[in-house]
Amino acid sequence: MTDTDDKALLKQLRVEQPRFQGIVSGHRACLGCGEALATRLVVEACGPDIMIANATGCLEIFTTPWPESAWRVPWLHSLFENTGAIAAGMEAALKAQGKSTKVLAFAGDGGTFDIGFQALSGMLERGHDVLYVCFDNEAYMNTGIQRSGSTPHAAMTTTSPPGKVRMGKRHLKKDIISIVAAHHIPYAATASVAYPSDIRQKVRRAMAIEGPTFLVIHSPCPLGWGHDGSLSIEVARLAVTSGLMPLIELERGELTGAMPIRTPHPVSDYLKLQKRFAHLFADDPKAREELVHLQALADYNIEKFALHSLGDDPQDTDGADTVTRGGMRYA
Amino acid sequence: MSSPLFTRGGFALPGTTSQFKTGTWRVQQPIHRHRNAPCHNVCPAGEDPQAYIAEFDAGHIRAAWETLVSINPLPAITGRVCPHPCESGCNRGDYDAPVAIHSIERFLGDQAIAEGWPYPVGKPAADAQAVAVVGAGPAGLSCAYHLLRQGHQVTLYTALGEAGGTLRVIPGYRLPDSVIDAEVERLLQTGIDFRPGQRLGRDIHLDELRGEYAAVFLAVGTQDPRDWSVGGVTPRDLHVGLNVLKEWMAVGSVPQAESVAVVGGGNTAVDLSRILKRAGIPDVHIITHNGLPGPDSLPGDVMRAVPREIEQAVEEGVQIHAHRGIRRLLLRGEQVVGVEMVHMKKLPDASGQLKRTAFEGTETLLHVDQVIPAIGQTIDPAGLEAILNGSAYLKVDEWRRVEGHAGLFAGGDGCSRGGGTVTSAVGDGREAAEAIAATLRGEGLPGKTVSEAIAFDALNPHYFEPLPRNEQHILPVEERIAEVETEQTLDPAQAKAEARRCLSCGNCMSCDNCWTLCPDSAVLRLQDKGATEAPYRFDYDYCKGCGLCAYECPCGFITMKEEL
């Protein structure tokens, strides 16, 4: 095959991919960006009949470097704090026009847990038909890795450095899913980029519901978490299999589903891959205490959501990512 | 795209990020790299089980069989008798249990027999160079077939009345004659000029063959029993293992006795003991210097018979005296009444070589009416005297060329590189055929470099599920009789399920993982999506080289290559 033929084939292939490409290549996400992957998976599962309100954050920045855009669906940049309100307005306007296009709100954890929280709460309370997706990379990555309400306990960020007094972030990760579910909305769920099929199922489930739905997707940030880009999926997977990131579904505030963990991994397997937790492996009693603390938090999740798998389940953490020849898993 | 227009108000022409080639960021690039599966590297016949199992798993049974017989023309046979080192090498063994490769091989061979699929080989040209193959056992058959595939005319000689050679002395409960016939007859129909009843040194002569043919392949096997005695004493009515087996196969009779000791630890010894058991001899013993196969056994100190055959022999009541040597025959007159055994073990000596050591004070007596040595055979020198020069085997190099005799090749039992199994004989035949074809074309022989097999660590086991191994049904002991196969072929559903267990080491299984997980949509899927060849292309215009696809590839088929 000549070089020109090859170029022609690639050009043709790019437009002929057998999936909906709502976000195209050339975006400026870092190598191995979990958020870029999660976004692509969500948009793919939604299909073209959507409109997106996107809060300030990495996603907004890396997809729309002026004067370009990676989006091939209607997309609006909201402010950091008002994504919920903008999405609600878009939904109301479409409804007034008699259109059924689904409105999505995309935001990071900063825009969801902290800055955009009241707009989100209002949107949920008023019952707008919006799917709100939070890409949770556990800090303000876009502005230089500052701690957010979502940053896990003991993690290092530029505003929660480990030192003589504290081992990274002093506070706990905010339990956003419970807060959101307390709005009595029809559907709220957590997901992880390590489980694409699970993301798709949850997105489709939410898309089929008329009313406010909420999805938080755990998305590793190689730069902010301090791991190699090639390990993004591995890190995300260990967050789930250690119990630190339970994948659960809540309907009207009640727990209706949880992905069981077949073989729980010690949290240290997850932590030691990331520089933001490197201080926990120092020879220091405080470090040892925090390690045990994080393990206790994982154990608490496993107990609370009864995450222990009872025998090999095709939907548990080991079964859910099984592949077969021909790619039927993703069909 | 024209240059963006900047006006007051920040107006810009819409453009997409696709005009920005993030591939320029890259310092390493993912590439598809096929790597050898361990089953492929350890197969004495040179099969690539990963390749044909992939075809089978994709639903192409006939293509799977054709891939298989492009290397080994006797899969129904080797699937039954091979000790399957492929399964010891299988990476799945590190995960749950190895893929039952031999059962899949056997299933495909049987399927071809049932469907009558012809071998994928054309007729040679009328003016193609002719090659003679002497001996129609597994090595000879394999060489003849592969020479045909290389476009040569082939004449296949055997001293016996039919093709099969050593295969014909394997008992029917392991390898029924009907299977040998079905496979060998179809093989002979491919255009091989088959001439039975031609004994070397009597009907045909090596000098004449070498004059008449462009090359000669010797696959004469081993026919002469090794001399056996204990301290210079041999019983008067000595029966030799292979001859007893041959007699059983021919007329169905065995020496009459109440109790028999078979000496040796190879397949002949085990086959013989099981035949004797089936013929109604109540007390059958095997005495062997080597140990029973087990996890702790040293490679040089373990019975050479196939482990599952040993296991079945024990189930059938054969008593195995492992790590025992015969010190003395107990004779009444010249009639054997028993043997004196002694504990023995192979221990490394000062130079690290394993050496047999007998332990004084551990002697025991075993009362038996017959002692049958089954300690192996050597080459029958008739017609080969000039080549052998007094040696007990034919000396060959790595391409199976007989040293010092241009145009003469040899393989299988009876030559210096013989592996002692049907499968290695098949491999010898194939490699010799390649060497013969290259020599006749006037080409040099390629170097024998085998790339290293992919290790289990290079796979990503997260993407697989434990699955129970599909075992062949084994008849209960009371139903095992001579004519019925002890192990049954897998049924189609089991065979398919077993093929699904393959981890596809080092080769793409089109699972869509890379396509799904690339954050930059830089893995493109081809529309005509094959199931066994990678239907993906890397889009290096956008690939940032993060390495996610390589790390997450379940099969180790993607490797990152430095690009600076």
pLDDT tens digits along B430-453 = 999 999 999 999 988 877 778 899
The one-letter code for the residue type at B455 is A
Average pLDDT, rounded, for chain A: 95
pLDDT for res A329: 63
Residues from chain A contacting residue B547 (CB–CB below 8 Å)? 31-32, 228-230
* Residue A254's CATH number: 3.40.50.970
Q: What percent of chain A shows pLDDT beyond 90? A: 88
Confidence band of B532 (pLDDT split at 50, 70, 90): low
B286 plus B328 within the same structural domain: yes
Nearest neighbour of A231 by CB, restricted to B25, B545, B551: B551
Helix (H) or strand (E) holding B242: helix B241-251
Helix (H) or strand (E) holding A42: helix A34-46
pLDDT for res A1: 52
pLDDT for res B30: 97
Among A239-248, B328-337, B419-428, B537-546, name the one with the lowest average pLDDT.
Answer: B328-337
Q: Are B30 and B557 in contact (CB under 8 A)?
A: no
User: B482: phi > 0 → left, psi -120 to 50 → alpha, else beta; which?
Assistant: alpha
Q: What is the 3-state secondary structure (H, E, C) of A165-213?
A: CCCCCCCCCCCHHHHHHCCCCCEEEEEECCCHHHHHHHHHHHHCCCCCE
User: Cβ of B546 and A230 within 8 Å?
Assistant: yes
pLDDT at residue B12 above 70?
Answer: no
Query: Using one digit for the tens of pLDDT, what is the confidence trace for A47-67?
Result: 999 999 999 999 999 999 988
Q: Are A31 and A222 in contact (CB under 8 A)?
A: yes
Among B109-123, B223-237, B545-559, name the one with the lowest average pLDDT.
Answer: B223-237
B262 plus B359 within the same structural domain: yes
Residue B469 domain-assigned (yes or no): no
B30 plus B45 within the same structural domain: no
Interface mutation target, options A23, A25, A200, chain B, most CBs of B under 10 Å: A25
- For B282-304, b/e burial (b = at least 16 CB within 10 A) is ebbbbbbbbbbbeeeeeeebbbb
User: Cβ of A326 and B545 within 8 Å?
Assistant: no
Binning chain A into helix, strand and coil, the percentages to the nearest 5 are 40, 15, 45
Residue B446 domain-assigned (yes or no): no
Look up the domain containing B430 and give its range: 130-223+379-440
User: Cβ of A32 and B546 within 8 Å?
Assistant: yes
B243 plus B369 within the same structural domain: yes
B45 plus B109 within the same structural domain: yes
Residues from chain B contacting residue A34 (CB–CB below 8 Å)? 519
pLDDT for res B13: 59
Confidence band of A22 (pLDDT split at 50, 70, 90): very high
Phi, psi of A74 (to 5 degrees): -60, 130
Query: Using one digit for the tens of pLDDT, what is the confidence trace for A96-134?
Result: 999 999 999 999 999 999 999 999 999 999 999 999 999
- How far apart CA B558 and CA A57 sit, in angstroms, is 32
Cα A250 → chain centroid: 16
pLDDT at residue A183 above 70?
Answer: yes
pLDDT for res A331: 47
pLDDT for res A328: 67
Residue B124 DSSP one-character state: P
In B522-561, the residues whose Cβ lies within 8 Å of chain A are: 522, 524-527, 529, 531, 537, 539, 541-542, 544-548, 550-552, 554, 560
User: Cβ of B22 and A28 within 8 Å?
Assistant: yes
User: Cβ of B19 and A68 within 8 Å?
Assistant: yes
B368 plus B315 within the same structural domain: yes
Q: What is the mean pLDDT of residues B531-542?
A: 86
E-strand ranges in B119-192 read 130-134, 153-157
Residues from chain B contacting residue A75 (CB–CB below 8 Å)? none
Residue A15 domain-assigned (yes or no): no
B59 touches chain A (CB under 8 A): no
User: Cβ of A25 and B550 within 8 Å?
Assistant: no
B182 plus B57 within the same structural domain: no
Structural domain count, chain A: 1
Residue B8 domain-assigned (yes or no): no
Average pLDDT, rounded, for chain B: 90
Residues from chain A contacting residue B529 (CB–CB below 8 Å)? 326-327
Confidence band of B560 (pLDDT split at 50, 70, 90): very high
Question: Using omega within 30 degrees of 0 as the cis cutoff, is the peptide bond preceding B73 cis?
Answer: no
B151 plus B106 within the same structural domain: no
pLDDT at residue B529 above 70?
Answer: no
Beta bridge partner(s), residue B104: none
Structural domain count, chain B: 4
Among A8-12, A212-216, A235-239, name the one with the lowest average pLDDT.
Answer: A8-12
Look up the domain containing A122 and give its range: 20-330
* Residue B23's CATH number: 3.30.70.20
Interface mutation target, options A232, A237, A325, A329, chain B, most CBs of B under 10 Å: A325
B21 plus B79 within the same structural domain: no
Residue B171 domain-assigned (yes or no): yes
Q: What percent of chain B shows pLDDT beyond 70? A: 97
Confidence band of B336 (pLDDT split at 50, 70, 90): confident
